[in-house]
Amino acid sequence: MKVHLTFYGVLKQEVGSRELTLTLPQEMISVGELSQHLIARYPTLEGRMSSVAVALNDELVRADHPLRDGDHASLLPPVSGG
């Protein structure tokens, strides 16, 4: 299963790219499992992923939402600053 990812803010810096396509080993995993997969691949994300909002195909979803082949996930860190 392929999932297309777009990273925003500090996440883009942590991953080293704004966009990434992942080939995942399972046919159906959840958004939360995707987060764990990203932490395993990019350990510096570990402290950040719990506060990241995920928009799947332009709709905010919860961690238990299933992923499907070809989905586009936007990972949005919390907004801060002034």
Over residues 3-59, the pLDDT tens digits come to: 999 999 999 999 999 999 999 887 668 999 999 999 999 999 999 999 999 999 999
Tell me what pLDDT residue 79 has.
Answer: 81
Count the helix, strand and coil residues of the chain and give each as a percent rounded to the nearest 5. Answer: 30, 30, 40
- Note the pTM of the prediction, 2 decimals: 0.89
Q: How far is CA 56 from the centre of its chain?
A: 9
Tell me what pLDDT residue 55 has.
Answer: 98
Reference 46, options 37, 58, 54, 55; nearest CA is 37
Question: What does the block give as tokens for 62?
Answer: 């919860």
Residues paired with residue 5 on neighbouring β-strands, in sequence order: 20, 73
Mean pLDDT for 50-73 is 96
Domains identified in the chain and CATH numbers = 2-76 (3.10.20.30)
Tell me what pLDDT residue 81 has.
Answer: 63
Quote the CA–CA distance of 79 and 31 in Å, as a whole number: 20
